[in-house]
Structure 1
Amino acid sequence: MGYKCLLVDDEEEVINAIVRKIDWEGLGYEVPTYAHNGLEALEMAEGDTPDVVMTDIQMPYMDGLEFSRQLRKLCPGVKIIIFSGYDEFEYAKEAIKLEAEEYILKPVNSDELSSLFTRIRESLDKEAEERQSIRKLSRYYAQSLPLLQETFYSELVSGRIPQEHLAEYLLNYQIDLKGPVYEVVLIHTSSTLAPEGLNPVLLGISVRRLAQERLEEKWRGKFFSYQGDTVMIAQMDDSRQVIELTDDCDSFCRLAKIACKAVVTVGLGMVCTDAMDTVHSLEGASQAVSSRAIYGTGKAINIMEIEPEHDSETIMDESGKTLSEILRRIRVEDTIDIPLEAGRFVDSYSQDLGTMKLYEFFITDTMSRLYRFAQENHLAIEDVFADNTIGKALPDVLEFKIMLTDILSRMQQMIGDVRSKGQKSFVLKAQEYVAAHYNEEGITIEKICKNLGVSSAYFSTVFKKETGKTFVTYLTDYRMDKAKEILMTSDKKTYVIAAEVGFTDPNYFSYVFKRQYGITPSKFRTRGEIS
């Protein structure tokens, strides 16, 4: 497939001559398409982006310089050639501003044109080669990912990853660290108790491989080396799985003694629900390993078992962070599974509280956070909570799961409705603006977006999604419908009708009408129908 070229000139015989005289296929191009003016060319470029555009300057409806400015916004990478019968310095200066590849004068010599299109093809080929080099770099990046990921894990548990950059790192390094519950596991291999003659480094590698075989899949473990030891970030669905994880690590220590002839002590840190808090979990795991002098080597030591006091304020703080994340996701997306998330949340914290007083505080704190979220997002409090209020008797865990699921589901629905209405609202406003101002010449997407307070890119995406048409097509269709209506119900002159539907140039109005319906306005009035 060759490169795509678009020729723009109101003199069709000029275009035909250029098409005939150049060996397009031999130069590496498809046979060019062509347009008769800038407006028509813009529409064609929007539908099928060209690689190269060659345009005349003097054309009706929109000259070549204005067309080039608009095209540069629409297709930033396009190569533009400007040719004209006018040897004026101002035109050449404007062409330079537009970063045109060439400014040439008519009549155009076929050899000169062939040479020019050859240079441009070589430029396009070079750019394609550079993109290929980027693909090679991407392959190299993929090969480097394991090392980059290990470095990331080490930085994370050291507290050197900023919270605001965490999501970016996870995306760039293709890391799945969704938890929702985390615990750092520190695997320490004794070098002083290593078998005689065996390199301690090789022994450590052997232990790590065995740990990955036994623990990685089940616990969705992320393994890396840290200060001479092996570390695993374990991921769990429920904090109550800590006992099972500890038992698995203890079994691993016994297996390492048999399989690798290694004395391995595994330390497990505090459970956390935020990946950023793994720095504290590592501290606990290190303390646990250091406690081997008291509790013995060759076993798993969980810091939560040797230091069982768990501050209730810490639990509430962690539960608040988890609930905040659920609410954040409700605010920005529609795909969150509310029953699943609500169930996980209640299970993760209600079982760790121990006393009814702390359980009551957990429920009250959760309801207060929900109330503040509803207020901050201007949700009707009575509609959000309905009958879900706390009476004299506290709900049990199952009842509170059902209550929380209902409240979060209502919030999700209400925020989704607001989001959807917001999009439909500005599309409707744009349509109302067209209905009120279609007879004005200067209607542009930029003017509409300034009026609505949204970006052009967002407006164009949502408008086409809601209406099935680009804004320009919608405006043209609306004007043409109005023109048909006036033609059928009045005897007004064509130039009068053109002005009434927003066209200052009656010739261009007739051109667009015929392009739209295949018939001129005067013939339509005579026939009273579209063929």
Structure 2
Amino acid sequence: MMKKVFFVDDEPLIAQGLSSITDWHNYGIEIAGSANDGETALQRIKEEPVDLLITDIMMPRMNGLELIRRVKQIHPRTRFIVLSGYEEFEYVKVGITLGIENYILKPINIDELESTIRHIRGDWEREELNMFRYEEDWRVLRSNILQRWVLGEIEGQEFKHRAELLGIPLNYKYVQALVYRIISQEKPISRLYRLHGLSEECGVIAREAISAEDEVICFPDADEDLVMLYVSNDPEHEQHVLENVPATAKRISELTGLSVWAVSSALSSDFQGVQDSYKQAKQMFQRYLVSGEDKIIYMSPSFIEAEERRPVVWDQEEYIKLLIEGKPEPVVEFIESVLPGAFQSSVIQRSDCLNMAIQLMLSAKDMEDRPDYSEVFAALARINTLHGLIQHVISVVQRSLANRENVQQEYSGHVAILIDQVKEHYAEELSLKTLSQKLDMHPNYLGQLFQQEVGLSFSDYVNQYRIEKATQLLIHTDQKTAEIAASVGYIDTSYFYRQFKKYAGVSPTELRHMYTK
């Protein structure tokens, strides 16, 4: 939060010149204004409080010391720097009594002024820290700084400064990241537990297994995972940490009653390389799914899949027949038998499962008249278990079957013509105005008729149909995104990206990553 400074000097050039004497924004300070006498300054400060007041001593109407005395009565937290054209011991004594930060002689020594500002800035930060220290806000502040650090979103000097204020240890050579994901099928973990309190509990558990010379930094990240950074000056400490991971995960599971998925990274010999260590651990969650019923799942840096990867074979023709028949029970039974049966390990490649799951869902969505692909893809990144994936597939397919039942209807002749035009010419420019001329109807009336029967505006229907076609091309071809955009009627690629995100729920790139050809 920016602080405010106000300047007071009976010499206008000095009052105005103080604003450019240093880079105030560099110290997190913005200029609130200036005045040429104490009376005017007091009125201004009454209206708009300031954090720092820099004032001359000898001024008409009200001198600087009286101004300081009056301001302290209404805003006790304001800080003061006094300026004077000559050294006067009596003024210094009074200023000290009033609690001024410094007494600077004119002409102003810029180095001395900046040194004083840095000192005041440090005091402000310590005051803010003391306000946070025993409150939840302090934990949030600390967690936010640590999240920015592991993501590489904070400069080294800024982090060092913040770390000193927040009690984050930096004087270690080695760092190792461990990330614990608590698996909840029903609600986000933050809805079930106070994440920062849970993180502190985990810190207590983790410290039991390390030496007094080492330290562990615990915090929840943006994905609601519990991150533990073990720091040490001993390269042998990695083995002690890894031996303790299952026990720590077990304690977390006991605290929450939920399954815990623990992932550790390789030891980094560069303390500044914590971003790579954290990234390595987080990538494991993106690459795998939990398929077993184990309460504790642990993946070390040397993790190797238990079974050899092989193509998943399933009877797609039989599945399509079941979808065409449209009876929910046999379709659900097929999904429940084919997905679990294809994967036997307790931890499996996410891409293998997602490919199969997406094929099952798209086979059903493709039979809808107006498929909504956002429900297929948007939830996939948040799924951690094979069980959760199966439930998602069943839910999407059941809704798809229900939609087909509800949408079996006849459109009026004019609306049917519009729909046929979209299906045949979606890659071309389509205008309701142009089509209405061909049908000899007013475009507003035709648009209202289409909205009433289809449930979408004509432009929304065209966009949704184009995105449907683009989705198929992204999944089943290696065409570049720009080529796909043009082939479905979007000349402007950036507009295509916006429309795709709007209708599919994910970007074209994200969809392709989710679905490996």
> Which structure has the greater CA radius of gyration?
1
TM-score, structure 2 normalization: 0.26
The normalised TM-score by structure 1 is 0.25
